[in-house]
A and B are shown apart, each in its own frame.
Chain A
Amino acid sequence: MTPTLFQALQAARKAKRPVLLATRLSDGAQALVGTDGAHGANLPEAVVAAARTALADDVARTVESEGARWFLHPHNPPLRLIVVGAVHIAQALAPMAPPLGFAVTVIDPRRFFATDERFPGVTLDTRWPDEAMAELKPDSRSAVVTLTHDPKLDDPALDAALRSDAFYIGALGSRRTHAARLARLTELGHSREALARIRGPIGLAIEAETAPEIALAIMAEIVAVRRRAPLVSPAREAA
């Protein structure tokens, strides 16, 4: 890889701009392709089209074009994990997420919880969840987890998450708490199908008890949903 190309790739990654590295395997010729297909190189159209698909799918693959094999390597920005509640479980969850490819933001307006001391190196947002969520704008590469148990904080975050494309929404709380929560969210106008997106009780069933165990169960469930592992959906389980 030439220094110029490497710098451009690192710059795109730093700016959290999705970019694909295309490599012709026969001679190592390389170019970067953006989501709009721009590449500033002499790439066959079919390769550019396949590159855009690979970037959207977030899957690396090889393609053949005009007798040459190309390796298409997407570099998408990190997935995001938005945690509501700077609680004990969040302290366990925050360091687990980055190695799994997630950039973490912890939202909690209660400043005695959301301190740098409790969350070293973690991005903290001390606005109210509705305000924070409006700016963070969860997308299809975002997971939203609510951990406060407090409807004043959890509900607005869940409301916003349900109106977004977040690929994972999970809420901490017992079955009873969750049923009451769903009733409140129904009053906010969310349908039964929409509410089925919320995973509650949150996390894979591993009999988690301690904060790190619960964090592990949550993180495992997020990875399972992202990788489309066959999981019993909360709605089906309840039915």
Chain B
Amino acid sequence: MNTDAEDILSTAGQWVAEGETVVLATVVETWGSSPRPAGSRLAVTASGKMAGSVSGGCIEGAVADAAREVMASGTPRVLTFGVTNERAWEVGLACGGTVSVFVEKLG
């Protein structure tokens, strides 16, 4: 039996095994109120599959955009979203917190 329904790593690994290009996004730091703690993961594929989350849904779209760049370049990057960040204002982190996300290609 699967002991962790939030086992994003195994889902991501399965996708890689199926030949998908997969990017992992991981919350590395949060300030103020933010819905998901450090260590929370989101996996996205080139084909548009998604598992897990790095926020309450506010920044997943922007992270998925960045993921496409990481898929192409293979270079990991850190994204920061929050009220002090222009981009985040657009994206809208409704909780008013700030969150830093590490985005990397898997495999």
Are A98 and B106 in touch, CB under 8 angstroms?
A: no
B1-31, CB under 8 A of A: which get 1 and which 0?
A: 1111110011001001000000010101100
Q: Counting CB contacts under 8 A, is A91 at the interface? A: no
Chain A, interface SS category: mixed
Are B106 and A25 in touch, CB under 8 angstroms?
A: no
Given known A-B contacts A6-B13, A28-B104, A73-B39, A123 and B24 have beta carbons under 8 A apart: no
Are A103 and B3 in touch, CB under 8 angstroms?
A: yes
Are B3 and A98 in touch, CB under 8 angstroms?
A: yes
Contact of B4 among A101, A121, A123 (CB under 8 A): A101
Contact of A102 among B3, B76, B104 (CB under 8 A): B3
Q: Counting CB contacts under 8 A, is B38 at the interface? A: yes
| A: number of interface residues (CB 8 Å) | 28
Contact of B106 among A6, A23, A123 (CB under 8 A): A6
A99 to B6, CA, bound (A): 7
Q: Which residues of B contact A23 (CB under 8 A)?
A: 28, 102, 104
| B: number of interface residues (CB 8 Å) | 25
Given known A-B contacts A10-B13, A60-B38, A71-B102, A98 and B2 have beta carbons under 8 A apart: yes
Shortest beta-carbon distance from A50 to chain B in Å: 14
A25 to B76, CA, bound (A): 9
Q: Counting CB contacts under 8 A, is A78 at the interface? A: yes
Shortest beta-carbon distance from B104 to chain A in Å: 6
Q: Counting CB contacts under 8 A, is B107 at the interface? A: yes
Contact of A99 among B5, B38, B105, B107 (CB under 8 A): B5
Shortest beta-carbon distance from B86 to chain A in Å: 21
Contact of A10 among B2, B10, B39, B104 (CB under 8 A): B10
Are A1 and B107 in touch, CB under 8 angstroms?
A: yes
Q: Which residues of B contact A35 (CB under 8 A)?
A: none
Given contacts A10-B9, A23-B104, A101-B6, 8 further A-B contacts (CB under 8 A): A23-B28, A23-B102, A60-B28, A60-B39, A62-B28, A73-B38, A78-B4, A101-B3
User: Could you name 9 residue pairs across A and B whose Cβ atoms are closer than 8 Å?
Assistant: A1-B104, A1-B105, A10-B10, A59-B38, A62-B29, A98-B5, A99-B5, A121-B1, A122-B1
Taking Cβ atoms with an 8 Å cutoff, the residues of A that contact B are: 1-3, 6, 9-10, 13, 23, 25, 27-28, 59-62, 71, 73-74, 78, 98-99, 101-104, 121-123
